[in-house]
Amino acid sequence: MASPPGFWRRLFGLYPGQDHQVRDRPRGADTVSVPNLSGSDGSTPIRHPGMSVLMDVTTVTLPRHCISTVHAHLRSVGREGNEGMALWVGVQQDQHFAVTETVLPAQRHIRTGDGVCVMVPAEELHRLNVWLYNSGLKLLAQIHSHPGRAYHSTTDDAYAVATTVGCLSLVVPNFAREPFDFARVAAYRLDGKANWNALPSAALSRMITITS
C-alpha cells in the first residue's frame, strides 16, 4: 500500500524510526497536548447551527457488555506484555450520548528497549472512519492500557485515535489485571485547543451511567 498522505503520517505517528516514549515519564498531571487539529490559523472548527458536537455531551449511557468487551481485550493482550486499544462508539442526541458498541480495531503491539505502546495503522483508521460515517455513528472514547500506572503520555498524545473535540481518552492501569473500575481509570477530554484535560473520576462517574 502507498504511504499515507502527510496529514495522516503526522497525526498518527507513522514516521519510520519514531522513538516510543517510555511509559513512566508523564508529561504533566492535568493537561497534555496533541497536534493541532483545528484550522491552520489556530482557529477552532466551525460549528453550524443545529449541529450537535461531542463537547455538548454531558451524560453518557454505557452498556455493561461494552465494558466487559474492552476489559477482556486489554487483559488478554496484557498477559503477553502488550498494551491494547479499544473504542466506544454510538449515537448522540443533543447533550446525551448512547454508546452502542465496542470496536476493537486492528492494532500493532510495539515493544522496544524504551517501553511499550499500541498503534492503529492508518489504513485501519480510514476504514473505521468510513464505517462510522456509513453507519451514522460517532466515536466517543478511546480506551487503552498501560503496564503500570495510568496517565496520558506523549506517546498517547501522538497516537491518539479519538481526535474530535469533546472525545474521551481513558487509560487503564496494570494491563487491566484488576476488575474494571472508573475510580482507577485516568480519564481525559479533548478541548478546542487540542489539549487533553484531566477529568476527575467523580466527574467521569457523574457523566457515565452503566446500563445492563
**Which amino acid, one-letter code, is at 173?**
P
What's the pLDDT score for residue 50? 46
Cell 461531542, residue located = 54
What is the residue whose three cell numbers read 517501553?
115
pTM for the whole structure: 0.78
Choose which CATH entry (3.40.140.10, 3.40.50.300, 1.20.1250.20, 3.40.50.720) describes domain 54-210: 3.40.140.10
Per-residue pLDDT of the chain (212 residues; tens, 9 = 90+): 223 333 332 233 222 223 333 343 343 333 333 333 333 344 444 444 445 799 999 999 999 999 999 999 999 999 999 999 999 999 999 999 999 999 999 999 999 888 899 999 999 999 999 999 999 999 999 999 999 999 998 878 877 999 999 999 999 999 999 999 999 999 999 999 999 999 999 999 999 999 99
Positive or negative: CA dihedral 96, 88, 167, 190: positive
Question: Tell me, what's the pLDDT at 85?
Answer: 97
Q: Of 190, 192, 121, which Cα lies nearest the Cα of 162? A: 190
Specify the 3-state DSSP secondary structure of 32.
strand
Domain ranges of the chain: 54-210
What strands lie across the sheet with 31-33, from one edge to the other?
A: 31-33, 195-199, 186-190, 168-172, 138-145, 85-93, 96-103, 59-63, 208-211
Q: How far is it, in rounded angstroms, from Cα 206 to Cα 212?
A: 17
Question: Are residues 31 and 197 in contact, defined by beta-carbon separation less than 8 angstroms?
Answer: yes
> Are β-strands 168-172 and 138-145 bridged in parallel, bridged antiparallel, or unpaired?
parallel
Give phi and psi for 118, each to the nearest 5: -125, 140
